[in-house]
Amino acid sequence: MSIIKPQIETSWKTILSDEFNKNYFLELKQFLLDEKKQHTIFPKGKDIFNAFNYTPLNKVKVVILGQDPYHGIGQAHGLSFSVPDGMKQPPSLKNIFKEIASDLKLPIPETGNLSTWAKQGVLLLNATLTVRAKEAGSHQKKGWEQFTNSVIQEISEKKEGVIFLLWGRFAQDKAELIDKNKHYILTSPHPSPFSAYSGFFGCKHFSKTNKLLTEQGLKEIDWKI
């Protein structure tokens, strides 16, 4: 399992090397080893750190923060809100595409694979990087949150002008980790069907993100998939 010897992009591996050696992370690794003996874990080991492998630190321009990987078979592949080609789009992702269609007049894609965003500098980071099959939230409070909090802090410290899209209360609680004098924070309700009509629809985060990138002299994100 790749968590034992993290298969993670070189720049992240260097920056996060101290985290990998801390007690909490060693305990997390043992927890995952024990879990794997009795349960199916998502995503596959090789995909756990895909957010980092697709988006090296020097490429990060935008961060979209999710909570957990999808817990259905074949859904999770290490990128928040994303599913592999051929998988049915989950409800929150459908709503993300609806907002993009409204905001930017783009067609709703057939695939739910967001790796094209990741390759352009959108870090698709879940707060918890693994989950037990069919048990949402089952790997919360096992150490992943400490790890991903440190990732957010590293981005805040080492970068400037990154745009953080924080959807829902859980993501918005992470704002305290971000230097607001150096970065941009856009907040809205979560795109879940339970809250999307409370302000996610109409937030225009995708056009706003591109405007902020343009103002910094950076290339816009092509949100079309």
Got the DSSP string for 43-105?
S-GGGTTHHHHHS-GGG--EEEEESS---STTT--SSTT---TTSPPPHHHHHHHHHHHHHH-
Local structure of residue 135 (DSSP, 8 states): B
Please count the other Cβ atoms lying within 10 Å of the Cβ belonging to residue 157: 12
Residues labelled catalytic: 68
Query: What phi and psi values does residue 158 have, to the nearest 5 degrees?
Result: -95, -15
Largest alpha-carbon pair distance within the chain? 51
Structure tokens at 200: 């996610």
How far apart CA 181 and CA 177 sit, in angstroms, is 12
How would you classify residue 194: left for phi > 0, otherwise alpha for psi between -120 and 50, otherwise beta? alpha
